[in-house]
Amino acid sequence: MEIPALIMKAIEAKEQAYVPYSHFRVGAALLTKSGKVYTGCNIENVSFGATNCAERTAVFKAVSDGEREFEAIVINGDHGDYLPPCGICRQVLSEFADASLQVILANNVEDYKITTLEELLPGAFGVENLQKK
């Protein structure tokens, strides 16, 4: 799928954001290596810590559907500036995606910035760190 089409999916997904507390809508669209797209929005909770970001919604939908390999994720917010994924979402992405995952911060179909998980989460805690020396 081309980047502008993936951006459109993230913008559409933002429409479902449940944000009664922050009023800060976020949409995400995750492209699997098999060519499927999983979208997500942020889902807030009155117990604020139970809030789920748009990116994790998309990842969990995909993983629960059996997908494990990802090519790119688009993130779109309302505030007219590139919206970077939060630290928890970066860690969740790194569980499934390799460092070369494209993370596309999109304001609209013409205005976006492509970065990678490697750039966003250098020195990530990974499975190799669980092994004892």
Task: Find out whether 91 and 50 touch, Cβ atoms under 8 Å.
Answer: no
Least Å distance, CB 43 to ligand THU, is 8
What distances in angstroms separate CA 17 from CA 4, 7, 55, 70, 110, one per listed residue? 21, 16, 12, 23, 23
**H or E element in which residue 72 lies:** strand 70-77
Furthest CA-CA distance within the chain:
49
Residue 41, SS3 per DSSP: strand
Nearer to ligand THU, 43 or 63 (CB): 43
Choice from 6, 8, 29, 44 touching ligand THU (CB under 6 A): 44
Q: Is 67 a catalytic residue?
A: no
Among 6, 7, 54, 121, indicate the residue that binds ligand THU (CB under 6 A). 54
Cβ distance to ligand THU smaller for residue 35 or 122: 122
Complex with ligand THU: residue 51 or 102, whichever CB lies closer: 51
Three-state SS at 75: strand
86 binds ligand THU (CB under 6 A): yes
For ligand THU, which is the closer residue by CB, 87 or 126? 87
Task: Give the count of beta carbons closer than 10 Å to the beta carbon of residue 90.
Answer: 16
Beta carbon of residue 46, minimum distance to ligand THU (angstroms, whole number): 12
* Contact set with ligand THU (CB under 6 A): 19, 22, 24, 26, 42, 44, 51, 53-55, 85-86, 89
Catalytic residue positions, numbered: 55
